[in-house]
Chain A
């Protein structure tokens, strides 16, 4: 596609439920990133994929969060037993290669609200 696509755009879920957030990166981009942006804050790094593997998952806050990228393209961020504190905008980005010397292109994010 022309840009990074994230679905759904908005998601409301009840506390304790399971959610999946999807990211379609730019075609051919090997690197994919997930960030979380809480209200009034800058984005915070969650996880980085190079191809199919999670090269750096040091930003995942706890074991309720998990992400996959099985074919090296689409990625899914999975959150189990959601809590109200998980409410945030989840941003996905992709770049041709990993690292700061290649531009990362962001999607428009998924706004997750846990009620």
Chain B
């Protein structure tokens, strides 16, 4: 079974600074997708960024980028120029290419300090 591990229960960052959230995963599949979701207090999960394992290039979405290390099974999220609205729970998630399930980590609570 696939597992997703987020080793940082809480992180904080100064406004306008950069922060990196860590995620590792375990799988025997060769083709899969990795995701970062944001969950604010409203409880709604919002997709931040998605990476396809067969693509070597790291995904980027505006201030959000990932460092995907396939051999190390590592998938970290970098948030640049942090804003107060970035404060939330962040979840790393995995899905096999032929699967319809997302497997989530336990999450990292990000605080942004003004």
A residues with CB within 8 A of B = 31, 33, 35, 40-45, 48, 55-56, 58-59, 89, 91, 93, 98-101, 103-104, 106-109, 111
Contact = CB atoms under 8 A, between A and B. Distances in A.
Contact of B100 (A40, A56, A103, A107): A56
A100 B95 contact: yes
What 7 A-B pairs come out closest when comparing CB atoms?
A: A42-B104, A100-B95, A106-B45, A100-B33, A45-B101, A109-B43, A48-B100
Interface residues of B, number: 27
A101 B43 contact: no
17 contacts: A31-B100, A41-B106, A42-B91, A42-B104, A42-B105, A43-B102, A44-B104, A48-B100, A56-B100, A59-B101, A91-B43, A99-B98, A100-B50, A104-B102, A106-B46, A107-B44, A109-B44
A31 B95 CA distance: 15
Given A33-B100, A48-B101, A100-B33, A42 B107 contact: yes
Contacts of A111: 43
Contact of B47 (A40, A48, A98, A103): A103
B106 A91 contact: no
Interface of B: 4, 32-33, 35, 42-47, 50, 52, 91, 93, 95-107
Contacts, number: 64
B45 A100 contact: no
B42 to A, nearest CB: 6
